[in-house]
Every structure is written in structure tokens, then in C-alpha cells.
Amino acid sequence: MIIESIELAFQTHFNRVPIIVRSPARINIIGEHTACSDGYVMPVAIDIAIYVAVSRRNDEEIHLYAESYGEAFQAKLSDLKQTEKDWVNYILGVADQLQKWGYHIGGFNLYIDGDVPLGTRLSSSAAIACATGYALMELFSLSASKLDLVKIAQMTEQGFAGVENGFIDQFAAVFGKRGNAILLDCKSMFYDYIPLKLNGYQLVLLNTNIKYSLSNSASTLVRAQCEQGLAWVKANISQVTSLSEVNIKMLDKYVKHKDIDVYRKCKFIIEENQRIISAAEQLKNGNLKGLGQAMFQAHDGLREFYQVSCKKLDFLVDSVKSLPYVLGARMMGEGFDGCTLSIVKEEKIDEFIEKITQAYEDEFSKKLDSYVVETDDGVTLIL
């Protein structure tokens, strides 16, 4: 239904027949904050997405319309500038990057819509950039690889949109595969698809509906602490280049006596990397319960060692630990706000959502949103 409505809306706004591209949102099954230390991550593309429809123009102008905001915007290819509208920056930034990479593109019309909930930390910005990039590559027959698209989308966010980020969101949006998680080594860029067989369970997101304005600065501080810990290790073992190469014995010897808080942050990264590798093996062996336990452990580490959780996220995880039909749960994302991820028995999902929603509202007098999601493919041309 959404495809037909997008096609109709595009024709209404631009009087053209478009091509339509879908780019998924993403979650991490396990593995938070490990990417910036060249560790492992395990992202999954999910079945909520951003949709971009495009057509060529006969001039060098860009005409945009965002359904979610009810806003239009126009620009010239020869004069692309950052604006106050984030959604515009992600689109113009991709056009800017494509030209900087040496690709020739002409003017285009672009309509954007989607069903990614705002404020959920599900990487909607990466989905916009990847959808735009893929659509323009198709529209202008550009011979770029999937990895090129990841890099272009990442550089769009870092450069034009002014957002400091890694490449995990974009990688999941492009390389996602239905029925699988991606085990990605952030240092080598080697990746492997890990079958995610839920066998009667489903993935449920619970959105706290809070927005912590200082989450970026807090995350920057934590990363700086990890860099300090690495520097102390490198001062004694020069061949070490990242925390992914450090073990607990090294931390105990070179970091613990200097700063216990730095030690705890680094310890979380090392243990989280170990959990990711273990979780991948659990999935390969069909041990979903083992994965769930790793998720609970990951949340405990994020709360106690990395210290990026908050009262509401902790409540949503702690409240489900005793439920026999929940295998695991943890906070997702940078921390302090956003969603938790739970693995819930399919036949108990309605009961689960009703119980936890009521408990959350009773505790905090705040609305809780829930989303049942499934794995999906990466960015795709659908029309």
C-alpha cells in the first residue's frame, strides 16, 4: 500500500513516474560502542524503512518534498549548501558527495516518506542517505559498489550534515540480509552473515520516549576515556593499535592503578567484544537462550561499567528479566535515551506489551511505544 501511495504522491507533486528505493532502519542485536575501538558489531536491517522516489529533471535543479514534514525544498546542483533542515542536508549531502567522487548527475525530483518512528535511534538518517544514494545511482546509471555507497552515505553525515558517526548504520542499511544478522569486524571490514533463527520468538523494541540532549557529549567523554586507557597500554606495548587488541591482563597491569573509571570503560569494550563473538557462536548453534543471556549481560555492562544507561532504560530491562517468555533484553544505541530490544515468545507478545506498558506508565507517568520488528534486506530498488 505504501508503494502505491508514494507513486501517486510523487506524480501529484512532480507529474512524473518515479523509480522508488527502500532503505531499512537497523538495530544492533548486541555490540554497542565497540565500533569506535575497532571491535565487532552485530547489526540487523529491519522491516521499517525510508522510501525515496526520484525522477530526472531537464535542468540542474533539485526539487524535494518530505511527506512526514509536509515540506518542500529546492536547490541548484552548482550551489549545494548546508541548511537548517536535517532531512534536506542528508539528501543534498549525497548529491554533493557523488559529485566530489567524480560522478556526473543532473537535476532531479525527490519525494521521501517512511515508517521509521522519530527519536527511536534506529538510524533513520543513514537510511535517508543510503536510499538517496542508491536511487541516484540507479537514476543516473552510476557504477558504484555497495561499499562505495556505504562510504558516500557516511561521508554525507560527517561532512554535509555535520554529524560525527561511524559506518555501522550505513553498512547495515546496504548489506542487510533478511533472516540474518551481520557479524562485522570494524577494523578489517570483514563480515559474515549469521542466521538469526528466532524459532517462535520475535524482536520487540520499547521506546522510552525520552530525549537526552547531552547524549552526544557524554558519549564523546566516554570515548575519550577509552582512548586514554589505550594510550596507557600503548606506552608499554607499542604494537597495540586499538582496544580490540587489548586483554584484561593488560588493563589490570597498565590501566587499573591509574584510573579506575577509565579501567571500567575499557573493560566493558573488551568484554563486549567477547560477548559478540560468543553470541555469534550461540546463533550458529541455534542457542537463542544463550544469546538472550548475553544481551542481559551486555546491558549490565552498559549500566555498571560503561555508565551510559538511565533509570528508564534500566527499568525496561529489569522488569522483563523475571518473565519466562523473555529470553533477553538490553538498551540500544549511544545511551541515556531511545529503545530497548527484547526477545519475546511470539504467542506472549500482546501480554508482554500490555504488562510492560502499564508498568512503565505507572512508574514514570510517561507513554511507552512498542514495535515488533523482523529482519529484512538492505537497500533495494522496488519500482
Active site residue 337: no
CB-based contacts of 249, cutoff 8 Å, min separation 6: none
CB-based contacts of 123, cutoff 8 Å, min separation 6: 25, 26, 169, 172, 173
Q: Which of 360, 356, 327 lies closest to 344, judged by CA?
A: 327
- Residue 276 CA, distance from chain mean position: 16
CA distance 171 to 184: 9
The answer to whether 161 touches 93, Cβ cutoff 8 Å, is: yes
CA distance 43 to 27: 6
Cα-Cα-Cα-Cα torsion 105, 106, 111, 113, nearest 10 degrees, comes to: 10
- Indicate the SS3 state at residue 379: coil
Give me the phi and psi of 184, to 5 degrees please: -120, 125
The answer to whether 250 touches 276, Cβ cutoff 8 Å, is: no
Give me the phi and psi of 19, to 5 degrees please: -100, 150
CA distance 10 to 333: 34
Q: Which residues pair with 373 in a beta bridge?
A: 203
Q: Which of 113, 169, 337, 376 is catalytic?
A: 169
Catalytic machinery residues: 169
